[in-house]
Structure 1
């Protein structure tokens, strides 16, 4: 289930639907549906090729498009009917909005920062962003703000207009979790775990892979169990030896007493 399974929020003349899934790169997914709304433009969600105009009669907003453009966001180009028909361009799948990186953590416990190798550059800034780096800086507010009072703290807001609705996403930088990318998770968990934040928690912890335990996932579980069994066996052997030694001493004392008695 998602962190917020479904929240309907009525904002002005449209509905916003929230849903979020916590992964290595968290995204807050917001859909603004304008299918039954006559005022698609608002602050932060401007028209593509036109201007937002407020009608005095009914105080409704609408996009006034430039020439050769139409649609609720002035994003549909009017075809030139004087030109001969041409083949439609092939639709290709868009690249992932998430930065892809190979993450390598240090073997020691003192280094609390992740290292990033062969990073794909961020599509907005052109630079790979690692929130756990010493040189990390917040993105500009213009990159993080979807609209007023909705800001991605350690990430960026992605807007995408699809037909009659707008798709918004909070895409978190590396090492960040939370609905609005508000939690940084920079513990060095070695090669046997990942830094994580539990539901309802704010403090990070190391989530160990199967077979490992410990604060930094540096203790092998089966080795720990083996050591525990060995210690238990040694304690039993020691107790048995002490018991046998005690019985032997008692027999020796009895034998000595008998000798003294008959002498």
Structure 2
């Protein structure tokens, strides 16, 4: 069964939602039959990368908040993150456009490292205070998770996977997704936001039961004959 997750690297609730979803998946006994695919979404596609400004100051300026109020809001989200074992450092988070990070994620997905890349990007942005729009940073993150440095450089120096990112965003619009995180389970159920673990658990179980009915395991009538088994028993 497939679960697609639309998210943006700079979305604090996407990282929190990832942890809650993972907790639900751990509790799901058939998790080995679940395929997870991460999809791209940009909350602010026009954002200009500016390493000289942290996200707290940026929010205050863009939303017309006082710096104190922006810190209070981020403190509240930081507490939510801590409840699921995450450390958020908003005062060091770099204002950065996420488009290249999404292209990086698509490269990782091609190598079966999509989920690993998302984790690395979230951690880089919210915890480590790294610029996720910087090529050297993305090369560093990529090599840390097992990608080839030269392939990352070639990808980032071209428009490779740009169309894939845009396709994900258009698909989200067609599905009516207006915010992230957004989880699409078995192409039938949509979960919006960093919901509580039981919401994920119940939806996954319901969707999986329906998926099993729609995709029953083959039942064979076996005609026995001479054969060999993996333990060396032939006869």
The interval holding the TM-score normalised by the smaller chain is: under 0.3
TM-score relative to the length of structure 1: 0.20
TM-score relative to the length of structure 2: 0.22
Higher strand fraction: Structure 1 or Structure 2? 1
Higher helix fraction: Structure 1 or Structure 2? 2
Higher relative contact order (CA 8 A, sep 6+): 2
- Greater Cα radius of gyration, structure 1 or 2: 1
